[in-house]
Amino acid sequence: MLLAYREAGGTHPVLLLHDGGHGTPLIDALARHGDGLEANVLPLAVNELTQVGLEAVIGAFAHGAAAVRFLLRAKPRHGVTGLLQTIVMAETILAGLGFEGRRVATIETDDPDKLADQLTGIGPLAGLDNPATFRTVGKRGDLLRFGLSELHRLAPKPVDVIALPEGAPIGAITVDTGGCTLCLSCVSACPTGALRADPERPVLKFVEDACVQCGLCQSTCPEKVITLTPQIDFRARRAQAQVIKEEEPALCVRCGTPFGVKSTIDRIATKLEGHHWMYPTGDRRTEALRMCADCRVIVMSEQQFDPIQDVPERAPPRTTDDYLRQRENKD
């Protein structure tokens, strides 16, 4: 619709999104009893306004829209929090790319005259001179990423990074590498594959273009060293996986097979040797900590390690008779 409007010679298009139950009768009333919509206002009916996502708004501006307005009831019948969050994110992105003025907003009215007044008050806002022409077909996430890429390419003042408000579905993560043990719990929890591991080496990688800021990695991390950073990095679409942390693998002292993170194995061995009854200083069992799972079993079987050897003797359980006897002795 936006492309056809521009091909017909239209300028400064304002996309008016509305539903059929409220918006259509209001626009009809304005046409019947008033002057109707301005020539540059393009009404588009949708099933439910709160279902319109950020990808639709960004796509509209990439296709040349100068402004987008959502026509709501004066008193909405249900919550519009999600829609308002979408508007805030869209405004942040557009302002960061150099689009001046209030580009995305709501019009909350049941009066056709007030609708006309608010549309007239938008003023002539400039759209893109050479808008994109891509087809808006595909998944929401793919449409959003491609729409942002096209909008950034055509924007008045393109920048590399734009900070977004909390709750945005786009962003990066910050990891305190000093506290990260490369347990890779976050990799298992990530539903989009933004966090990745390498089967050959202990390494944690991150693909920002795939992150949806769900927070599962942050909640799963046992060390609590992951922080979400809502932002748009337009370089991330072309970037390869970023290495967040990489360490030397632990090699089995018996067969040389890599089986873990060397720093973690060394830390565990240091904490246990001489500080736990199962691992006295210089004992052969300490060496087993530095072996892979297969060699550990073989060595324990060959040398007949007794896992309960040198276990401190436990005190016998106390019974009711013991308590009664103790009471009698006091008397």
Q: 25 and 133, same structural domain?
A: yes
226 lies in the same domain as 277: no
Q: What is the CATH number of the domain that holds 204?
A: 3.30.70.3270
Element (H, E) at 48: none
For residue 104, pLDDT over 90 is answered with yes
> Do 46 and 17 contact (CB within 8 A), yes or no?
yes
Q: Is the pLDDT of residue 278 over 80?
A: no
- Identify the domain boundary among 159, 184, 217: 159
> Could you tell me if 17 and 117 lie in one domain?
yes
Count of structural domains within the chain: 3
Residue 8 pLDDT: 85
Based on the domain organization, do 202 and 83 belong to the same domain?
no
- Residues 99, 210, single domain; the answer is no
- 183's CB contacts (< 8 A; 6+ apart) are 222, 223
Does a structural domain hold residue 296?
yes
Q: What is the pLDDT of residues 18-53, one digit of tens each?
A: 998 898 999 999 999 888 888 889 999 999 999 999
Q: Is 331 inside any structural domain?
A: no
pLDDT, average across residues 208-229: 94
Query: Domain check: are 28 and 81 in the same one?
Result: yes
Provide the residue range defining the domain that includes 266: 249-302
Predicted TM-score (pTM) of this structure: 0.74
CA distances from 58 to 62, 230, 279 (A): 6, 17, 61
Kindly state whether residues 95 and 187 are assigned to the same domain: no
| Residue 281 in this model has a pLDDT that exceeds 70 | no
Residues 287, 292, 293, 298, Cα dihedral to 10°: -60
> What are the start-end ranges of the E strands in 234-294?
242-246, 249-251, 258-261
The DSSP symbol for 12 reads: S
- pLDDT band, very low/low/confident/very high, at 197 (cuts 50, 70, 90): very high
Average pLDDT over residues 175-198: 93
